Amino acid sequence: MNQTKQKINDTEIPGCVRRLSNGERLWLWAPPACVSMAARIIGSVSEKDLMMAIKAVRRLHPLLGVKVIFDERHDAWFSTDNVPETALRIVPRRSENQWFEEIRYEHRIPFEPEIGPLIRFVLVSSPQVSELVVFANHGICDGDALTILIRDILVYYANPTKAAHVLQPPTFEECLPKDKFSLSGLITETFIKHYNRQWRKRPYYFNQTDFNELHKTYWDRMQYNIALIQLEPEETSVLAAKCRENGVTITSASTAAFLAAYRDILGPFPKERRLIAIAYDLRRHLKENIGDVFGLLAGAVQFKFNYNQNKSIWKNAQEIHRIIRKDVEGFKTMGRELSLFDPTLIDALGFCPFTQLVPEAFERTKNLSDFAHDTKNVALSLSQKIISGAPGTINTNLGRLNYSETYGDLSLDRMFFIPGSSKFVPLILGGVGLNGKLIFSLNYVEKVGNNGSPLDRDMIRIRNRALELLGFPEKANDRAM
């Protein structure tokens, strides 16, 4: 990629790609804000050829090789200048589920935004079967971007001389049609202007040292856990047929099934948690074809939903499907209002939730301590409102991927999508279909050393109940994976 210098305010930004959107910036300083994907590959993967393919794809997708430069006004810019090579860690494959242990390990290593890059790779390697794990900060990509990336790496692995044409990543905001004027929108803008004014009177600016202390404290206490659903091609076909018969998608059906399962195992959500968020890929819904760009381009619809236990999961799924379809077709999405906030207030909102989860981290630096103990800190009060309005369920089903199965002498068998976690959202689902195989992960965090805890057992029971409701009771078991 050509290196350019761009003068922003009084600061020259060498290798400038573009300014970070507030949506991208929101994830920059949050310990669990990473997304990961593991691709199971059949065949012997050459480490040298894989590294060459990763380098080629880094030229194709600029955000694979960026760092973040903060100017004197604390605006943030993606830059490709003097960014280290992409890390590829090789580990021998000892078990079928080792790929998840490597994702757990990667969560414990903080990214360094001002050094970069904001993505790492792990090859869990054996001569017959390997998993390629991609681990990235959510600020540079979404789940769909990870599937595009894995496909492109395999394409260049099989054809290393293929030309690479740079795909410049637009921002989420650039892709959305402008909002029509509304009274609610005007009220929202007025409130945000108020928060910005309050914040600018008492701002805080965070750095890598602050983040390192928060990240270490959080991941010393917490560990990532999942419970998996894996459907093979025949089972996936059965589920797809049921969905067609009932006029719903797998996303709607899986959301209804897990809601019902949660209710059966732990009881109904409190009223304030009866919110569902469904992520969708803006790339597929834009009038203009922007190509398979690598970036953060996930929309999300959020709506109130009371699961009706007097109706079947399919009737509930039909209602969920109706709402999702209407909202997506109207480009309704969460996050539009983020662009109105002061960017440094967005940084603070990334730190705020952890004042509750790991308060001891905020005694590790003077800046964090001053921030957490500031009783007039508008970021903390705003964060409380955001947390109290968090959905009870988030479902990010990437859908069925129409990717080739064969890449030279390698075969792409299946993918596992592991989205970010949150202690404030009880149900977080990540799904992806490939080669007729459908895999869902139920994602959560638990205290370190609590393997086999009541939460672990409950999540497995919820997974098992969802399987039963979807028509696969024989697949229920007492293992997470």
Neighbours of 386 (CB within 10 A): 12
Grade residue 7 by pLDDT with cuts at 50, 70 and 90: low
Q: What pLDDT band is residue 449 in, cutting at 50, 70 and 90?
A: confident
Whole-number pLDDT of residue 2: 44
pLDDT tens digits for 184-204?
Answer: 677 888 999 999 999 999 999
Q: Is the predicted pLDDT of residue 177 greater than 80, yes or no?
A: no
Lowest mean pLDDT among 109-113, 215-219, 279-283: 279-283
Residue 149 is assigned to a structural domain of this protein: yes
Question: Is 165 a domain residue?
Answer: yes
CATH code of the domain covering residue 17: 3.30.559.10
Number of domains the chain is built from? 1
Would you place residue 275 in the very low, low, confident or very high pLDDT band (cuts 50, 70, 90)?
A: very high
Q: What is the pLDDT of residue 306?
A: 94
pLDDT reported for residue 452: 72
Mean pLDDT of the chain: 93
Residue 442 lies in a domain: no
Q: What is the pLDDT of residue 192?
A: 93
What value does the mean pLDDT take over residues 317-324?
Answer: 97
In a domain, 136, yes or no: yes
pLDDT in tens, 364-387: 999 999 999 999 999 999 999 999
367 inside domain: no
Q: Tell me the sheet residues that pair with 445.
A: 224
Higher local confidence (pLDDT), 330 or 362:
362
Kindly state whether residue 69 falls inside one of the protein's structural domains.
yes
Interval 310-318 mean pLDDT: 97
Predicted pLDDT at 287: 79
Over 141-204, what HEC string results?
CCHHHHHHHHHHHHHHHHCCCCCCCCCCCCCHHHHCCCCCCCHHHHHHHHHHHHHHHHHHHCCC
pLDDT of residue 174: 86
HEC readout, the chain: CCCCEEEECCEEEECEEEECCHHHHCCCCCCCCEEEEEEEEECCCCHHHHHHHHHHHHHHCHHHHCEEEECCCCCEEEECCCCCCCEEEEEECCCCCHHHHHHHHHHCCCCCCCCCCCEEEEEEECCCEEEEEEEEEHHHCCHHHHHHHHHHHHHHHHCCCCCCCCCCCCCHHHHCCCCCCCHHHHHHHHHHHHHHHHHHHCCCCCCHHHHHHHHHHHHHHEEEEEEEEEECHHHHHHHHHHHHHHCCCHHHHHHHHHHHHHHHHHCCCCHHHCEEEEEEEHHHCCCCCCCCCCCCCEEEEEEECCCCCCCCHHHHHHHHHHHHHHHHHCCCCCCHHHHHCCHHHHHHHHHCCHHHHCHHHHHCCHHHHHHHCCCCCHHHHHHHHHHHCCCCEEEEEEEEECCCCEECCEEEEEEEEECCCCCCCCEEEEEEEECCEEEEEEEEEEECCCCCCHHHHHHHHHHHHHHHHHCCHHHCCCCCC
> Taking residues 14-39, what's their average pLDDT?
94
Confidence of residue 119 (pLDDT cuts 50, 70, 90): very high
Judged against a pLDDT cut of 90, whether residue 297 lies above it is answered with: yes
415-435 pLDDT, tens digit each: 999 999 899 999 999 999 999
Domain that holds residue 67: 5-172
Q: Does residue 318 form part of some domain? A: no
- State the pTM of this model: 0.94
In the prediction, which pLDDT does 107 show? 96
The confidence score (pLDDT) of residue 480 equals 92
- Give the model's pLDDT for residue 1: 41
Residue 326 included in any domain: no
The reported pLDDT for the residue numbered 332 is: 82
Q: Tell me what pLDDT residue 172 has.
A: 85
Give pLDDT, residue 288.
Answer: 82
Can you give the pLDDT at residue 5?
Answer: 59
Output the pLDDT for position 6. Answer: 60
